[in-house]
Structure 1
Amino acid sequence: MKLGLTLTLVACLCTSFGSMAGNDKHDDRNQSRGQGVKNEQRRLVVNSPDQAVAMAQRQYRGKVLSVQSSGSGYRVKILNNDGQVFSVSVDAATGRVSRN
């Protein structure tokens, strides 16, 4: 009697642990899919300083003096034909160009 009860208990435990292990694999696949979505959201419109310069020059004519990487994109310093120096921010995620 005790042996039958023990075997039943062991069988139940093995079954429950086996199903939990299967759930872990399922969760990993779902997490991987979630990572793919996050990576797609993180894709940048502007991937290099050269792209940032090109986008800035399309909107603001002049000579590019420098380009620096900033937290959210790039900062491009431009000298226009009137001799004025100004900075333009290029958002790497959206491609938005704005004069500072």
Structure 2
Amino acid sequence: MNIGWKILVILMTLIAPNALLIAAGQNNKANHHRTGTENSTSPVAEITEQKAITIAQQHFKGRVLAINQKGHTYRIKILSQQGTVHTILINALDGSVISTH
């Protein structure tokens, strides 16, 4: 085995465990970002977009124009059959209606 291969094997042996530690650290950061807490290991339960739409359509019947999530809030725009656009804010954690207009 020439010197180049030996160096490559040594470097791979040294780098591989560190790469796993870095990847594990990135995974923890992703979980932290998702849950919003540093010490929590269990993710925060959120309702789905479809559930949020169902809740919004219980207040205003019509076609969904848009749904956006910012933080723990879904913002849903619904076009009624009369042509009125309604905006409903839904709490993404528990499905409660924050506001309608």
TM-score by length of 1: 0.52
Q: How does 1:1-100 map to 2 (within 5 A)?
A: 35=40, 39=42, 42-44=44-46, 46=47, 48-97=48-97, 98-100=99-101
How big is the shift at 1:73? 2.3
Moved over 4 A (4+): none
Gaps of at least 5 residues in structure 1 are 1-33
Task: Determine the structure 2 residue equivalent to 1:11.
Answer: none
* Greater radius of gyration (CA): 1
Tell me by how many angstroms 1:43 deviates: 2.1
Structure with greater helix percent: 1
> Distance between the aligned counterparts of 2:88 and 2:100, measured in 1?
4
How many Å separate the matches in 1 of 2:73 and 2:40? 22
- The 1-side partners of 2:52 and 2:73 are apart by 8
Identical positions, percent: 29
Q: Structure 2-normalised TM-score?
A: 0.52
Q: Give the drift of 1:81.
A: 2.0
Distance change >3 Å, CA 96–CA 83, structure 1 → 2: same
More relative contact order, 1 or 2 (CA 8 Å, 6+ apart): 1
TM-superposed deviation, 1:92: 0.8
